[in-house]
Amino acid sequence: MRARWRSTLVILLAAAPALVVLVGLVGAWVAPASDALQHQWRYLLPDASRNTIILVLSVAVAAGVLGTALAALVALCDFPGRAFFSWALLLPLSIPGYVLAAVFAGSLDYSSPLYSWLREQWGWQWPSIRSLGGASFVLTLTLFPYVYLIARVAFESAAERYLEAAALLGRTRLQAAREVLLPLAIPAILASSALVAMETLADFGVVAALNVDTLTTALYRAWYGMFSLVTAQQIAGFLVLMALLLLLFEHRARSVLRMRESAGVSLFRERLHGWRALLATLLTSLILGVSFAWPVAHLLSWASTHWAADLDARYWGYVLRSIALAGIGAVLVVSISTLLAYARRDDSSWVGRSLTPLATAGYAIPGTVLAVGLYAPLASAAPWLQGTLIILFVAYIARFLAVGHAPIAAGLARLPTALDEAAVLLGSGPLQRWRQIHWPLLKGSMAAAFVLSFVDLMKELPITLLTRPFGFETLAIRVFELTSEGEWERAAVPALALVLAGLWPLKWLAGRMSHAT
């Protein structure tokens, strides 16, 4: 009884930052309906909602399929370059979505040199990247690594003996992967696809760069164009509602598939030979090429004329601050996500059940709305917080808890409760139990949570922008400063630095993760 009470308290504390924001959004709905909203209902919201739903579903499905396929390939097969791809496939995450969108708009649109050349030489035509389909394409390319990473951890922690059992019952390795490993990884795939869906819901950068009307662009139109923050908050309320529906759906799907595994000898990878190995390497290279190498090459060509002028000693400061903020933020997010996941496991009361999705719903709120929604009440309630990093980290937690929670909750769901019971019977305390039983089995998921929140925080902009102390600049802020007036060539320098600064921690963590599994 007492333990449950404690769990409820933990959930409440973890949810508190997001709740502050959500209460504000609810407050906006209680306010009398603004005629800005009525106007939007009439002219914008029907199309915007339709686009948002199509975008969210198409990106979640496409990223889900792409991420799962790559995860299965890397986890189950050995082919030339596998070790490199296993971490390099995370790299697309390090490019902010709006930068990727600008690169694709710049390199694939009508006026781009490539399109112009192909058009003039061969008469080639293709649909504009500045469209719903284009936005879906770009978002898929930047978000599939979420699914890839979380699904890979699930595949790698599945035991070899399931594959053996399936082989003994007449299945080839491929059939066994589809019939046994895939169902086992489904909770992880669903959780990560939900994460992708939430990020897509909140995206403004990509859709703005490709001029696609969605709920977020409608939201900014009301706020920036019609000076109605209340309308913007009401639309953000829609987004949260959609996110909660998504989470509900994901939770339902997961509870139908509830299953627990025990640990075992982990998979051995099947070595691919001949054309199959070649195909695996080529396809993976192609995806990495389109989602990372090509954009980076494009950024390099933009930066080539400016790096000499812009790159100076200040960049060390930007890099250090970016890494420090992202590192500290990710540690906070992972720790609180872990506490939340455990508390939720112990507390199945309605409080725990309803607060957990609310705690993670912040991921579906556009960063700027969330930043203002948190800054305003905190700064007026506790003025001494202004100009400190406390508000910044609280806002990080409000927004990014979902990123940490999804992989950890999926990992925890795979642990059999029998393990706990056995350990309790052996008289081990909670901390010892955690260190000896859960940590070894959960560290892969926790590393995944850390990598994802770290990379997300590296490129985080609106919260850092609003709540940073004076003169505090990061790489993401440099990119913003330069792109806000359209200076894309110059912005390529900090954008590349952002990729490079994220590269080293990614590689390092990927190394640690493969030891962990």
Partner 1 sequence: MRLELKDVRFRRDATEILRGVDLQLESGEIGVLVGPSGCGKTTTLRCIAGLESVTSGEIQLGDRVVSSVDRHIEVQERRVGYVLQDSALFPHLCVADNIRFGLRKLAREECEVRVANMLALLELRGLERRMPQDLSGGQQQRVAIARSLAPQPDLLLMDEPFSNLDARLRTDLVSELRSLLKTLGITTLLVTHDQHDAFGLADRLGYMQDGRLEQWDTPYDVYHRPRSRAVADFIGDGVMLPAIGKDGFWHTELGTIEDPAADGSADLLLRPDDLLHDDDSPTRAQIVGRVFRGADFLYTVQLPSGLRVLALAPSHHDHHVGETLGFRLANDHLVVFRRD
Partner 2 sequence: MQARASNRLLSYALAALLLWVGIGLPTAQASEPVVVYSARNEQLIKPLFDRFTAETGIPVRFTTADAAVLIERLAAEGKNSPADMLMTVDAGELWNAANRGLLRPTRSKTLDANIPATLRDPGNRWVGLSQRARTIVYHPDRVDPRKLGTYEDLADPAWRGRLCLRSSKKVYNQSLVAMMIKTRGEAATEATIRGWVANLAAPPFANDNQVMEAIAAGQCDVGIVNTYYLGRLLQKQPNFPVKVFWANQRGDGTHVNVSGAGITRHARNPAGAQKLLEWLSAGDAQRLFAGSNMEYPVNPTVEIDPLVRSWGSFTPSRINVVEAGRRQAAAVRLMDRAGWR
Residues that bind partner 2 (CB under 8 A): 36, 39-40, 43-44, 102, 105, 109-111, 116, 128, 130-131, 208-211, 213, 217, 220-221, 223-229, 305, 321, 324, 368, 371-372, 375-377, 379-380, 383, 386-389, 462, 465-466, 468-473, 477, 481-482, 484-489
Distance of alpha carbon 255 from alpha carbon 250, whole angstroms: 9
Applying CB under 8 A, among 3, 31, 169, 500 the residue interacting with partner 1 is 169
Distance from the Cα of residue 301 to its chain's centroid? 28
Q: How many CB atoms lie within 10 A of CB 463?
A: 27
Cα distance between residue 420 and residue 460, in whole Å = 37
User: Binding partner of residue 221 among partner 2, partner 1, none, CB under 5 to 8 Å per kind?
Assistant: partner 2
Q: Output the smallest distance, CB 225 to partner 2, in A.
A: 4
Task: Show the CA angle centred on residue 278, arms to residues 276 and 284, nearest 5°.
Answer: 100
Yes or no: say if 231 and 40 are a contact pair by the CB < 8 Å rule: yes
Q: Which stretch binds partner 1 (CB under 8 A): 36-44, 50-58, 172-180, 201-209?
A: 172-180
Which residues, at least 6 apart from 371, have a Cβ–Cβ distance to it below 8 Å?
A: 395, 462, 463, 465, 466, 467
Q: By C-beta, is 372 or 455 nearer to partner 2?
A: 372
Q: In the complex with partner 2, which residue's Cβ is closer, 111 or 121?
A: 111
171 binds partner 1 (CB under 8 A): yes
**Which one of 70, 184, 272, 476 is in contact with partner 1 (CB under 8 A)?**
184
Q: Is 434 left (phi over 0), alpha (psi -120 to 50) or beta?
A: alpha
Of 10-18, 220-228, 240-248, 256-264, the window that binds partner 1 (rule: CB under 8 A) is 256-264
Choice from 159, 319, 331, 385 touching partner 1 (CB under 8 A): 159
Query: How far, in Å, CA of 178 to CA of 407, rounded?
Result: 21
Contact flag: residue 259 with partner 1 (CB under 8 A): yes
Q: CA 123 from chain center: how many Å?
A: 39
Question: Is 133 or 416 the residue whose CB approaches partner 1 more closely?
Answer: 416
Smallest separation, CB 430 to partner 1 (Å):
23
Q: Which of 49, 84, 220, 261 binds partner 1 (CB under 8 A)?
A: 261
Q: Between β-strands 270-271 and 77-78, what pairing exists: parallel, antiparallel or unpaired?
A: parallel
| Interaction between residue 31 and partner 1 (CB under 8 A) | no
**Per residue, what are the HEC states of 265-318?**
CECCCEECCHHHHHHHHHHHHHHHHHHHHHHHHHHHHHHCCCHHHHCCCHHHHH
Other beta carbons within 10 angstroms of residue 228's beta carbon come to 20
Using the rule CB under 8 A, which residue among 63, 166, 222, 513 binds partner 1?
A: 166
- For residues 399 and 20, the answer to whether their CB atoms sit within 8 Å is no
Examine residue 164 and tell whether it contacts partner 1 (CB under 8 A).
yes
116 binds, options partner 2, partner 1, none, Cβ within 5 to 8 A by partner type: partner 2
Nearer to partner 1, 175 or 380 (CB): 175
Residues forming the site for partner 1 (CB under 8 A): 159, 161-162, 164-172, 179-180, 183-184, 186, 257-262, 264, 416, 418
